[in-house]
Chains A and B, each alone.
Chain A
């Protein structure tokens, strides 16, 4: 990364332009890296970045990749990041990434440099003067158009503050192009002026504290519970509370589960680890949410991905202790017996301190063993299904490919990004990386195709660590143009393609009802595609081809490699059933006779091991 420029004479601030102010204020707010479109409108910003030498700048191939790269960079570093593109359609292409980042409340400052239109006063051509800001409003915590160059600094500070606030998430700033070169009188007290090492606006205030009595009450409720568990949400990752919450589970002897938004918040070597996040731990999660009497939820919002549809599939008798930094998430879905407003780390650390003065918590080994066994049975079923899978096509079971990679991946210090429909489910059920910030998936929006830019964004943030992308063939092509960046910035990735020649998450539904209409994809060798980008490629024929040596070599070598694994499309993960159950609640009512008749002609293979496993899953989770 570029080192900050030596202190300069701030008396020259009258010559500061809008672009300089933008760059200085982004830096003053703690932003280290900017993902920016390579476009003539950006030239003043690029020049200002080069002149200041305080920000790192990366130029994706397409503007559509700016936000996903920034998003991933922020998810890894925990810092706010900026994404800047030209206006109009360029800026609207940031909507995809912004929606994705907004879905997971990542602090990305999205900036659009809009052209100034000469006909802006003619109402007939209102389509020339689109307010892009209004498009971004529903997917930002703060969105604003800069009205005069002097406002840039104040607005940037506000945007970063909002994006790091309890509400948290993406902020959008629209800047007229002419402001970039306009002189700016007002400047920010940046680090150069204040003389401190930390940029003044990056200094965070400490989170609020919970009342000690409430913490006591919460611990008491947990201690007296028969079958409690701790539920870690995305807020745990955001507040850097992963270590603390793992400690809390260990010290209280209470099982620890995580929401889909906190993929790697529970350490697999924690004795209180039950299984992967949410539905991915199979019946373990379902049993826990049905049988528990007290749940301590930390930084969770109880979305559909965690079983909170209408009605929820959680037991109605659970007493919830809810810790959240944002008022709106307290009792948003389940009611709260004990609500606590503070950030996840603060609450958990207060609990750890309070534990010292309390009698020991009761032994809950039978409850923990019961849940662990549920997950183990699920894992074993999956492994057996993968092992015994022998389709006519000779293609591998999708889980077999991932299980072959799993051990080497878990033993390495690699970071994994997962992308796709079923692929993240197969990967999530099979791979348990010791976090935090080892496994990434845009949970909120589950956007297809952000895998390549996200993996590149993480590689940019962690250049010394191998980054592996586990992706499906459907998601692979979405942003394949960005593979060029591997050479441009020396960001080598290891890509594993679960190539089932289908949009398989949707295909399973189509096939069950009738036949695949829109979900078959052409059989495509992605190894050949990757060759065009200068990657080393391996096309897998049999399971024996995926050796630990191959995976070690891929993760150890500092060169881009793609491994294409042709897999069978006639199987789907059982945990998908839970998603469908919640997302389609009240929708999949018994279909008319005509549609039922179709089911008799359906392509679904009724007597495969996969089908039986899904039926077992259904029975066990109901």
Chain B
């Protein structure tokens, strides 16, 4: 027999489901949850200075580790700060579980006029995959398991649970038998591989073997399903050129045939070039790669397309297919490799096609300054970024992690970052959640404590969450933020970022001399340096 609060059940379930970090801010309704996390071995509270930043740190953690993370914010005002940031997890398909207390269950739905009360489950509903109110203490384990199962089912995404404060604080003696009922110890979700249909694999393999001008378009879920290694084996075996979307950028490993990202190929001339392909492999399509495949099909409706996806509903829903495979991305890529090996077929892909693509990619890079996205962001910003990327290219190792945000920075990084750094890159190409990069980079550091983490961003974006410098200092999250002062587009009103960073305990330096070398001290070696530098792009 043991006495358990609702809060204890929340934490026990989260622990059993493999949650290590709870990103949270204090709230009276959550006190017992914080106590329980504090006492639970293997679990830790991460306390940022704003709920939105907490959700973004959790997103960064999930992005880099592939594991689910928990964000817990207090009723009303707390969730209101969280919601805009949780949208990143919704858009980027990250498995987050958001848990919030509610007012007493007898005062909600419809709400009694009460401090901080609102129908927060309804606010969350449009941007979560699963959403529930836990009215009874005994349902906590089941609902959390169910929520996490949904968060980790394809396509990944955030889920939300409201727990009324009386359920959190409510306690009961629980017998061993009851514990077994609450925690049956059996698997709470599917974690194996779904195998593709063998006949479909054979058809696809034969198309692949005969393609002279193939093109691989890799989407976000290759990254989310951690299938990068498998895709790499496939690409090495076939020697096919690959264009990932920005979201899948980190999943396509180093190769001469990694041709930047889809976003760089948007110009109609480049699409015309790509449309000369004789086989499109649309792997785990996302918005960008699907759009590209649709564009190529419009130019040449005869192009055969093979689509592979974990989510059955998306196969065939985007473009007319020649073959479609449903299965776990890793399993599908492996099956294709095996099939090609068994058939011992020689591949028809031509060197001329590869060379032509490489030449076009090289032209794209050279024409970057005229890219409309770059022009919007400001050319001085672009050159500042370019200059920094060239300098850090000499320093980046395959163990480093890079977070890139802002359209200009993302485009430049995708084009110019030296290959060994590529597969650790998290690109936030949309500016839909402005300023997400900095908290995300802190979350990435939590997930990869041994890696050096770089953020490439602009002061204009950084300032949305620069308060988290204090969090960075508090948890000693050594990262280097390379920031550009985007004076051209939006001037800073004499904010002294170096003074600000230092006042919050983080070292910072303004580099105005373009020739000034980035030294090891600025790169967060050991404990001596917590964050990085501010580049004055106008210099």
Known: A40-B376, A96-B81, A506-B26. A583 touches B103 (CB 8 A): yes
CB pair B118–A524 under 8 Å, yes or no, is no
B386-403 interface with A by 8 A CB criterion: none
Judge whether B318 and A124 touch: CB under 8 Å. yes
Among A130, A310, A506, point to the contact of B106 (Cβ < 8 A). A310
Q: Does B505 interact with chain A (Cβ within 8 Å)?
A: yes
Q: How far is the CA of A329 from the CA of B503 in the complex (A)?
A: 49
Do B83 and A138 have beta carbons less than 8 Å apart? no
B474 adjacent to chain A (CB < 8 Å): yes
Contact B83 A92 (CB under 8 A): yes
- Contact between chains at B290 and A122 (CB < 8 Å): yes
**A594 & B84 in contact (Cβ 8 Å cutoff):** no
Pick the residue among B26, B84, B434 that contacts A96 (CB under 8 A). B84
Cβ contact within 8 Å between B80 and A95: yes
A residues less than 8 Å from B38 (CB atoms): 517-518
The smallest beta-carbon distance between B446 and chain A, in angstroms, is 17
One of A304, A484, A507 near B112 (C-beta < 8 A): A304
Please determine whether A593 and B123 come into contact, CB atoms closer than 8 angstroms: no
Say yes or no: A448 contacts B77, CB within 8 Å. yes
Bits for B95-115, please: 1 = Cβ < 8 Å to A, else 0. Answer: 000000001101100001111
Is residue A447 within 8 Å, beta carbon to beta carbon, of the partner chain?
A: yes
B34/A99 in contact, CB under 8 A: no
A450–B31 alpha-carbon span in the complex (Å): 23
Q: Are A517 and B35 in contact (CB-based, < 8 A)?
A: yes
Residue A137, interface by CB 8 Å? yes
Chain B residues with CB under 8 A of A38: 490
Q: Mark A114-139, 1 if CB is under 8 A from B, else 0.
A: 00001100111101101110110111
Q: Are A95 and B84 closer than 8 Å at their CB atoms?
A: yes
B494 close to A534 (CB less than 8 A): yes
Q: How far is the CA of A585 from the CA of B474 in the complex (A)?
A: 35
A6 at the A/B interface (Cβ < 8 Å)?
Answer: no
Is A302 among interface residues, defined by CB-CB distance under 8 A? yes
Complex contacts, B170 vs chain A, CB 8 Å: 587, 589
> Given the complex, which residues of A lie within 8 Å of B286, measured CB to CB?
125
Closest partner residue, chain A, to B92 (CB atom): A127
A390: shortest Cβ distance to chain B, in Å? 28
Q: Assuming A506-B31, A587-B104, is B467 touching A124 (CB within 8 A)?
A: no
Interface centre among A448, A510, A525, A587 (most CB of B within 10 A): A587
Contact A119 B106 (CB under 8 A): no
Q: Are B28 and A580 in contact (CB under 8 A)?
A: yes
What CA separation (Å) do A213 and B510 show in the bound complex? 75
- Interface hits, B251-290 → A, CB 8 Å: 286-287, 290
Interface residues of A in 466-507 (CB under 8 A from B): 474, 477-478, 480-481, 484-485, 487-488, 503, 505-507
A532 close to B (CB within 8 Å): yes
Q: Are B311 and A124 in contact (CB under 8 A)?
A: yes
Give A309 to B112 CA distance when docked, in angstroms: 9
Q: Does A62 contact B (CB under 8 A)?
A: yes
Contact of A522 among B3, B76, B119, B474 (CB under 8 A): B474
- Which of the 9-residue segments B44-52, B135-143, B201-209 touches chain A? B44-52
* Contact of B493 (CB < 8 Å), options: A99, A118, A301, A484: A484
Q: Could you tell me the distance in whole angstroms from the C-beta of A37 to the nearest C-beta in chain B? A: 9
User: A96-B81, A128-B287, A529-B504 given as contacts; is B166 within 8 A of A587 (CB)?
Assistant: yes
A361 interfacial contact with B, CB 8 Å: no
Residue in B closest to A117 when the chains form the complex, CB atoms: B287
B91 proximity list for chain A (CB < 8 A):
88-89, 127
B34 touches which of A89, A102, A123, A518 (Cβ 8 Å): A518
Is the CB of A579 closer than 8 A to any CB of chain B? yes
- Complex CA gap A488/B492 in Å reads 9
- Least Cβ distance of A472 to chain B in Å? 12
Which residues of B lie under 8 Å from residue A595 when comparing CB positions? 5
Chain A residues within 8 Å of B146, by CB: none
Cβ A445 vs Cβ B291 within 8 A: no
B104, B314, B435, B467: the one contacting A477 at CB < 8 Å is B467
Given A446-B116, A477-B470, answer yes or no on A124-B317 (Cβ-Cβ < 8 Å).
yes
In the bound complex, residues from chain A placing their C-beta under 8 Å from that of B90 are 127, 130
Q: Is B495 located at the chain interface by the 8 A CB criterion?
A: yes
B500 adjacent to chain A (CB < 8 Å) = yes
Q: Is the CB of A589 within 8 A of B83?
A: no
Q: Which residue of the partner chain A has the closest CB to B129?
A: A127
| Contact in complex: B118, A139 (CB < 8 Å) | yes
Cβ contact of A122, chosen from B127, B311, B317, B497, cutoff 8 A? B317
Shortest A173–chain B CB gap in Å is: 17
CB distance from A613 to the nearest CB of B (A): 20
A71 near B: Cβ within 8 Å? no
Task: Across the interface, name the chain A residue whose C-beta is closest to B157.
Answer: A127
Contact indicator A137/B122 (Cβ below 8 Å): yes
Contacts of B93 in A (CB 8 A): 127
By beta carbon, the residue of chain A nearest B464 is A62
Among A92, A119, A308, A510, which residue has its beta carbon within 8 angstroms of that of B31? A510
A132 to B490, CA, bound (A): 27
B432 contacts chain A at the CB level, 8 A cutoff: yes
Give 10 nearest A-B pairs by CB, closest first: A532-B500, A528-B503, A89-B433, A93-B84, A303-B113, A592-B3, A447-B77, A92-B84, A99-B80, A477-B467
Q: Can you identify 19 A-B contacts, CB atoms within 8 angstroms?
A: A88-B432, A96-B81, A124-B311, A124-B313, A125-B286, A131-B126, A134-B125, A135-B127, A138-B122, A303-B114, A304-B114, A310-B106, A445-B116, A474-B49, A506-B26, A517-B31, A517-B34, A533-B496, A585-B104
With A62-B463, A589-B169 known, 14 other A-B pairs at CB within 8 A are A89-B84, A94-B84, A95-B123, A99-B76, A134-B126, A135-B126, A138-B119, A503-B25, A513-B35, A583-B103, A584-B28, A587-B165, A589-B170, A592-B3
| Residue ranges of A at the interface with B (Cβ–Cβ < 8 Å) | 38, 40, 61-64, 88-90, 92-96, 98-100, 102-103, 118-119, 122-125, 127-128, 130-132, 134-135, 137-139, 301-305, 308-310, 329, 332-333, 444-449, 474, 477-478, 480-481, 484-485, 487-488, 503, 505-507, 509-510, 513-514, 517-519, 522, 524-525, 528-529, 531-534, 579-580, 583-589, 591-595
